[in-house]
Structures are given as C-alpha cells and as structure tokens.
Amino acid sequence: MNNQPPFTITPRIVQQVAEIVELLTRWSISVESAQSPQLRRANRIRTIQASLAIENNTLSIEQVTDVLEGKAVIGLPREIQEVKNAYTAYERLPEWQPQSEADLLAAHGLLMAGLVNEAGAYRGSGVGVFNDRGLVHMAPPAGRVATLMADLLAWLATDPVHPLIASCVFHYEFEFIHPFADGNGRMGRLWQTLILSKWQPLLAYLPVESLIRVRQAGYYQALADADKQGDSTVFIEFVLLALQDTLSDALAKTSGKTSGKTSGKTSGKTSGKIVAALRQNRSMTIPELAEMIGVTTRSIERNLQKLQGEGRLRRVGPDKGGYWEILE
C-alpha cells in the first residue's frame, strides 16, 4: 500500500497500550465479565444507546431496553429504527472481517436500513461536517472514496501495528474519508469495536461508547486536532484513554468495589483521573466527572478542592459556562 496513514507511536501511546493489556488481562479472568450473558447484554445496550446518543438520538437506556424487548416505546419512529438497526449490526460482529469491504458495506446496510437511500453503498456526492459555527471538515470528493477505502482496508489487513493502535487509526481515517452519506460516526465506532473484538473477543462487550458520550466534546476536538495536525496521533491517545478508563471501571465493578469505599490511595487515583478527563474536555461538570470515573459527586468535589489547593487546577468563569484550567 502506498498511502500509509500518518501517525506517531508516542511514549504515551506505548504506556497506554501496556496499561490496557494489563487491565484487559485482569478483567478477562473475572468470572462475571467472561461468563455472564446478562452483563454482556447490558453492556451491549449501553454501547448502542451511547453511540446513537452521540448522533442526537434521544432515547434513554430504559427506552432502548424496552425497544429491544419488543415493548411499546413513545419516541420518534426514526430513533426506534436506529436502535433496532444498531442491535442487529452489533449482533453480527462475529461474522464480519475488519479488512473486508463487502462486510463493511453490509454492516452499513444493516445499520442504516430504512434511514437513508444509500444504505450499504458509498456516497455519490460531496459531504461536509458542520457544527453550530459552520463547516469543520470537508470530506474528500466522492470519486475518491472507493480508492481511499480500498487503501485503508489494505493497510488494516497488512500493517503489523498493534490492534489497539490500528483500531484508532482506522477510526480516524474512516471519519476523515466520510465514505457514506450518513451514519459515518456510528459506523466508525462499530468498526473499531469489530477490530478490537477480533483481537480480544471480550472487547465486543466493552461499552467504550458510553465514556465517549460523556467526553463527546473531547471526542470531536480530538478529531479536529488530528485534522489540523495532519495525523491521527492525538486521536489515538484520546481513544486509548477512553478504553483504559472504561476497562478500569469494568474491573472495579466486577471486583465488587463501590464508589463509597475510597481510601486515600484511591482518592489520589481519582485526582489523576479527573485531570486526565479535563485534559480532554475542560468543560465537564461535576456530575459528568462522577459518572465517568465511577465515584460520588462528593468525591469529585473533594478532589477538585484538593487539586485547586495544590495549585494544579483553576476554575475559570462561573460554574455554568466556565471551564477548568490545568496548571501542572
């Protein structure tokens, strides 16, 4: 392949990969995480709800659960269809190969069935990504999509880079190409899960999307920063941190830990996680930090006070609309 995706394996990435592998090893020997169908289904539901919420689907976890159980749900027909499609697609993960274009198109066909006219086919026109300030990314012309995707899939099939890194690179490059008329975000997250699950099957049930949903602003900022820098390094670091934190949370839950039993050592770890989270999204609220890290809001408040007292953190602006400045 001539078009090697540009990225750098930094010391931070090497450390993140090592820590994720260690956490995954510990999680995989947990009887609950390895053998509980109930836990796997609950995590799959969390994954679907969060991935769709990033795309502005308003259904709650409870509503998503009801949809999948065949119960009546008051909601927009499109949003209900999105849930059904996503569940069908995630259930088909074991059948697909990450490097297969046919599987990629089939997955998009399932994910977007009844939602777009071009389900299961690359887009035939130009597309841009917009936010409230205007255009933030202009995707390559439609005429180049097939070639760019063929190159990306060929790289994925042949490059020896670690799957944790390869999955992040693919995710970013996929979003940069934006090969479909709609559904690119949820497809990118689905395909990263597929890549990871072929390496470690348990990762098919790790709800990383839930954490990305909490860090949504950071997710889009990492994509934008990678665009500006011309490579995916910053995005790799962002997603690996999300994987690391999600695994830490899963391990804590399967080990029977509770947020109400925190020692001084745990408090120190909580402070570190707060700083890491705020590096990705300085505007996170106390409830969002508590949900992401898995501790009480009181614990977050206590650690924020400690960080400010140590001169490592400073609040800029009001509680609503302000942000945290990291001083270390």
Verify whether residue 178 is a known catalytic residue.
Answer: yes
Paired with 135 in beta bridges are 130
- To which residue do tokens 């800029």 refer? 316
Residue 239 marked ligand-binding: no
Kindly list the distances between the CA atom of residue 261 and the CA atoms of 195, 253, 257, 273, 295, in Å, as whole numbers in the listed order.
36, 12, 7, 17, 9
114 is in an annotated binding site: no
Confirm or deny that 235 is annotated as ligand binding.
no
User: How far apart, in whole angstroms, are the C-alpha atoms of residue 316 and residue 324?
Assistant: 6
137 is in an annotated binding site: yes
Strand partners, 316: 323
Q: According to the annotation, is 135 in a ligand binding site? A: yes
Question: Residue 220, annotated ligand binder?
Answer: yes
Within 10 angstroms of residue 68's Cβ, the number of other Cβ atoms is 17
- Tell me the two tokens of residue 111: 């994910």
> Which residues are paired to 138 by β-bridges?
128
Residue 303, annotated as binding a ligand: no
- Does the annotation list 129 as a binding residue? yes
Residue 114 backbone class (left: φ over 0; alpha: ψ -120 to 50; beta: rest) = left
- Is 182 annotated as belonging to a binding site? yes
Beta bridge partners of 313: 326
11 burial via Cβ count (<10 Å: 0-12, 13-18, 19+): exposed
Any binding-site annotation on 188?
Answer: yes
| 87 known ligand binder | no
Q: Are 145 and 202 in contact (CB under 8 A)?
A: no
- 183 in a known ligand binding site: yes
> Residue 183: CB partners within 8 Å, gap ≥ 6?
108, 111, 112, 115, 116, 119
Measured CA to CA, the distance from residue 100 to residue 106 in angstroms comes to 10
Q: Is 260 annotated as a binding residue?
A: no
User: Is 136 labelled a binding residue?
Assistant: yes
Catalytic residue of the set 108, 162, 171, 178 = 178
- Would you list which residues are annotated within the binding site for ATP? 129-137, 182-189, 219-220
Instruction: Give catalytic residue positions.
Output: 178
- Would you list which residues are annotated within the binding site? 129-137, 182-189, 219-220
